Chains A and B, each alone.
Chain A
């Protein structure tokens, strides 16, 4: 895996360079933007890239499972990534803030995970690639007890699994 991936990336860059009509003769031959292998760059097919560059989570208003414009934009980008990485599967985790009972928040977390999952399916991702789990309020991400943290905990997180056999 760690050997094959850079090789594949280099081949891809070489191919691009060969097709280019405007090749810089002084180039090292490795374009960090194209390869994702320059300093601080991530392989676009990696889980790290998905989590950090696309964004693995969307946020909800109190007691709501409606996807606002920002959430829909993130989920569209997630769907694009999932289309480009067809071997990947995902678990959609629904969460709630601590301002509700455990049992209601389990149902609310399921509702949020289902909203994100339905959106991804609507964007063309096969339902069989998308599992769903609720954690209710049991797995907060931000730990303070005010709205600045609660707004981060009312979330659905797309956790990527699977991938090419390594």
Chain B
């Protein structure tokens, strides 16, 4: 009955494509199939004199975020037949239907008396002739203008896909410079679009593997500052940094628990490497794997109940899942080649990994039971995926071969589409995507 009802609606829509007649919500379905980016109009903001420069920058952030996602096509402003008008006014939808804009984002900006930037935003379904969502009112220091743009883009993503976006987020990474055999490496943090770069370490010590805390306000990474690799905790709110643990073992491969209260890491004991968990409050460590094989690159499931990691217990590196308290691991990767650096999607549905096969490296995804493996990329060296906060996009690093080879950070949608380079000022590796900022 429901099926025939839907069919009747579709037939009616085909017979009478009158404005406002469509009953389906305006929605992009993020699937594995190829989709046509949704055409959207983002006219220049209505802005008072004091805010107009900021308004232009914010609009450009919105446009770049939307276009970069591959889900939207922002129609060029030169095609617009009208300006936006006020956020409170009902748009003249015919002006936007003519240019085939399916959605219209209207914004206005003003500087408040205390010097803060105030932006209001409303999204409209052009052919449905109705508002999408309740709109946004944002107020921030002018220095945070770009974050206002990311918030607007995230609101558009949510309204049109039904899922949170990932635009107001940051990426920690390793900034690299110098020759291949003496490369200087620094921990750096930038907005996900490359803006607001800042260096966290000075390059005096070799550093690798930055990881954002779930709250986004601290990092763990490894540093050779004491001579051998050690996991370091770094406060990003102006606090200091400290080596985690006073044990003699080398420690590496750190990863926060979903509640931020503990850190997984690999410790070496002679030739053996195993996975441990350290409580950040008590600094107690508990051993989670044993046996003579290499166990490393752990990551929690989003609910904190399980850990995926890599082990060469079976001869070459493969992926395993175990309880968060340790215990018997279950192998989940069975394909040819070697698997490493597994990371659990924030949505819980997929595990992304690095795969080495036949002289090439790939970033791929599989279900958490190991089924439905799909390789998304291929090159001389693709390594180290990290998930966007909404679990739809992966960043990883790709290194070119040879004496002058150097890494760059790339991103790809989890369905394999929209491969593109992430903007960093120089060579860059080991990306870690933060959660959405508050």
Contacts and interface: CB of A to CB of B under 8 A. Distances in A.
Interface in B169-185: 179-183, 185
A108 interface: yes
Given A103-B297, A104-B297, A145-B405, A134 B340 contact: no
Contacts of B181: 139-141, 143
Given A111-B294, A133-B228, A138-B208, A104 B317 contact: yes
A63 B402 CA distance: 21
Contact of B402 (A118, A131, A135, A145): A145
B229 A143 contact: no
Interface stretch (A4-12, A18-26, A94-102): A94-102
A102 B402 CA distance: 17
Interface in B382-431: 383-384, 399, 401-403, 405, 430
Contacts of B273: 107, 110-111
B294 A133 contact: no
A58 interface: no
Given A143-B181, A145-B380, A145-B402, A103 B252 contact: yes
28 contacts: A63-B312, A63-B316, A101-B297, A101-B340, A101-B341, A102-B208, A102-B209, A103-B209, A103-B266, A103-B296, A103-B340, A104-B312, A104-B317, A106-B266, A107-B252, A107-B266, A107-B273, A110-B268, A110-B271, A114-B268, A132-B228, A132-B250, A133-B250, A134-B250, A134-B268, A140-B181, A143-B403, A145-B401
Contacts, number: 103
B356 interface: yes
Interface of A: 63, 65, 91, 98-104, 106-108, 110-111, 114-115, 118, 131-135, 138-141, 143-145
Contacts of A118: 270-271
B156 interface: no
A133 B266 CA distance: 14
Contacts of B434: none
A138 B178 CA distance: 13
A65 B296 contact: no
B227 A133 contact: yes
Nearest to B252: A106
Contacts of A134: 228-229, 250, 268
B271 A115 contact: yes
Contacts of B183: 138
B42 interface: no
A111 B297 contact: no
Interface in B281-312: 294, 296-297, 310, 312
Main secondary structure of the interface of A (DSSP, over half): mixed
A103 B338 CA distance: 13
B208 A107 contact: no
B234 interface: no
Contact of A101 (B180, B271, B316, B383): B383
A140 B272 CA distance: 23
Contacts of A135: 206, 224
A116 to B, nearest CB: 10
Contacts of A145: 380, 401-403, 405
A7 B271 CA distance: 44
A133 B310 CA distance: 21
A110 B248 CA distance: 13
B149 to A, nearest CB: 34
Contacts of A91: 227
Contacts of A108: 294
Given A100-B356, A104-B312, A143-B403, 20 more contacts: A91-B227, A98-B381, A98-B399, A101-B341, A102-B208, A103-B340, A104-B296, A106-B229, A106-B250, A107-B268, A108-B294, A110-B268, A131-B227, A133-B228, A135-B224, A141-B181, A143-B180, A144-B403, A145-B380, A145-B403
A144 B402 contact: yes
A143 B180 CA distance: 7
A144 B180 CA distance: 10
B253 interface: yes
B354 to A, nearest CB: 5
B161 to A, nearest CB: 32
A111 B271 contact: yes
Contacts of A98: 381, 399
Contacts of B340: 100-101, 103-104
Contact of A104 (B272, B310, B402): B310
Contacts of A63: 312, 316
Contacts of B403: 143-145
Contacts of B399: 98
A70 to B, nearest CB: 20
B284 to A, nearest CB: 23
A115 B384 CA distance: 28
A110 B252 CA distance: 11
